[in-house]
Amino acid sequence: SSQVATGKAAGKLSSTLSWVKNTVSHTVSQMASQVASPSASLHTTSSSTTLSTPALSPSSPTQLSPDDIELLAKLEEQNRLLETDSKSLRSVNGSRRNSGSSLVSSSSASSNLSHLEEDSWILWGRIVNEWEDVRKKKEKQVKELVRKGIPHHFRAIVWQLLCSAQSMPIKDQYSELLKMTSPCEKLIRRDIARTYPEHDFFKEKDSLGQEVLFNVMKAYSLVDREVGYCQGSAFIVGLLLMQMPEEEAFCVFVKLMQDYRLRELFKPSMAELGLCMYQFECMIQEHLPELYVHFQSQSFHTSMYASSWFLTIFLTTFPLPIATRIFDIFMSEGLEIVFRVGLAVLQMNQAELLQLDMEGMLQHFQKVIPHQFDSGPDKLIQASYQVKYNAKKMKKLEKEYTTIKTKEMEEQVEIKRLRTENRLLKQRIETLEKESASLADRLIQHKCSSRYSEDFVLQLEKELVQARLSEAESHCALKEMQDKVLEMEKRNSSLPDEENVARLQEELIAVKLREAEALMGLKELRQQVKDLEEHWQRHLARTTGRWKDPPRKNTVNELQDELMTVRLREAETQAELKETKQRMMEMETQ
């Protein structure tokens, strides 16, 4: 390595810079063609990948940082040595194969950091160039290598290879999509300024970074109308744009949404997020039972701190160098790394969290945890792979969650049905009340008349039968409602408390209004019953001494008395039914 450093003379650096400036405009297309060709030499692959850095970075394509220039000089010198001695590469590769479990040698094999860096470049160049063979034959070793971190200049092409996003047909539609209008444009524009507000590439209003970010989000909202745009996805797209041009970033984002469960996470229902929260909470209960009990006692729900972990893959939690390393592993292994890192973070902070209340825990997650790993992500990643993750158990939890959600949906359907029945019962009660009032009027009119016909007696008997039937039906409806109330109480006690707070608040307000209306109706009904009873008592007092009336008149009076008694019982039953309905509303409120 010291020979390489010494060989970087001023003349050599000048010629390298000139060479870079002359070829940088063609680097992106060269990179794609050279990676696709298995016969391309290691020199071609490494050079093209390195030279693509300016085109993939937010800075101007014709400007290189001192670090980039130094790396280019190192790589060119190393490639020159490799060209003069082709056996060097075979010997290096042979030493990798002899290492057994990994493609990369351990850090203890050499004390020279610069040599290891060059070694990593050579290795990643070979992996990129021979990607299909390497991924098929040495998938486990590739995963281990990704966990150690993908070199910055290889990250763009390796991410595309990991998710199979190269040569996607949808890439050809990108320019046409940008000409179309999306219904999500206002929402996207609103959130653009909130995405990486401190990053140079995005912080300036109407900058290139904000424009390409808007383009990719708009294009995807047109491709996937169901998802459209979801807040949080812009952070993932922003990270992609820090590594590659917008067309490639668009293709990678489409693959992530399709193949990495992100589309389900970002759907309007966010059903997949609910599943992830359920699985993660079960992991906490199993591995950190004391912390789980503390969270429950403080009503500190998993979604209050972990939702953003899954929606942005920690990009809004940790600084970019840490989050990017986690994203490397996500590209290779999927959402499993989010569960692992999340549980590792909780394990490392368990002692502090157990001493805090809800407010203190929120502050700890927002202020303390994001900066715990500023020195580097290696400790966190190592801890995450000490976490026991059982894929079969996660599948089992997914089935459990699906069953719970199905029951909840059935319960919602049942509640809607009960509400419909309540409405119909209310209409029926109103009809009965009108019929009762009409019958009472007729009774009063007939009482004022001194003549009673046989037809009138028969009519009273029929109406008495009808009144008794109505009373029986009201009792049946009341009993049925009481049974449903008991059933609802049992179901409510067994269902998990996992609801959308905003929707519940709106529902609570509506239910409270209905409850107030019902209370007023109940009060009015009770007053009506009281008035009717008082009227009946006065009637009885007036008719007490009239036992000497003719037999037919006595029969009519008895029928009228019995009919009025049934009406009173019916009114009381209606009052009790309204009380039951009131209990139903209180149950819905709970």
| Domain 150-264, CATH among 1.10.8.270, 3.40.50.970, 1.10.10.10, 3.40.605.10 | 1.10.8.270
Residue 514 has pLDDT above 60, yes or no: yes
- Domain assignments of the chain as residue spans, ordered by start: 150-264, 269-389, 403-493, 498-542+554-589
Least confident of 21-30, 210-219, 299-308, 309-318: 21-30
Q: Do domains 150-264 and 269-389 have the same CATH topology?
A: no
Q: Which residues are within 8 A (CB) of 164 and not within 5 positions of it... i.e. 6 or more apart?
A: 255
pLDDT bin (cut points 50, 70, 90) of residue 245 is very high
Strands (E) in 353-452, as ranges, are none
Higher pLDDT, 298 or 75: 298
Residue 47 has pLDDT above 70, yes or no: no
The pTM assigned to this predicted structure is: 0.56
Higher pLDDT, 455 or 498: 455
Q: Which of the given ranges, 6-15, 225-234, 423-432, has the highest pLDDT on average? A: 225-234
96-123 tens-digit pLDDT: 333 333 343 333 333 444 566 677 888 9
Residue 373 has pLDDT above 60, yes or no: yes
Q: What is the mean pLDDT of residues 541-567?
A: 67
Residue 394 has pLDDT above 60, yes or no: yes
| Domain 269-389, CATH among 1.10.472.80, 1.10.1060.10, 3.40.50.720, 1.10.10.10 | 1.10.472.80
**pLDDT reported for residue 246:** 94
81's enclosing H/E stretch is helix 66-84
Cβ proximity of 585 and 514 under 8 Å: yes
443 alpha-carbon distance from chain centroid? 65
- Phi and psi of 11, rounded to 5°? -65, -40
Residue 426 has pLDDT above 70, yes or no: yes
Percent of the chain past pLDDT 70, that is, above it, reads 72
Q: Using CA atoms, how far apart are residues 113 and 107, in angstroms rounded to an integer?
A: 9
**One-character DSSP codes across 29-64:** HHHHHHHH-TT--HHHHHHHHHHHHHHHSSS-TT--
pLDDT bin (cut points 50, 70, 90) of residue 352 is very high
Least confident of 214-228, 420-434, 500-514: 500-514
Q: Using CA atoms, how far apart are residues 237 and 195, in angstroms rounded to an integer?
A: 10
Mean pLDDT of the chain: 76
Residue 127 has pLDDT above 60, yes or no: yes
**pLDDT reported for residue 81:** 44
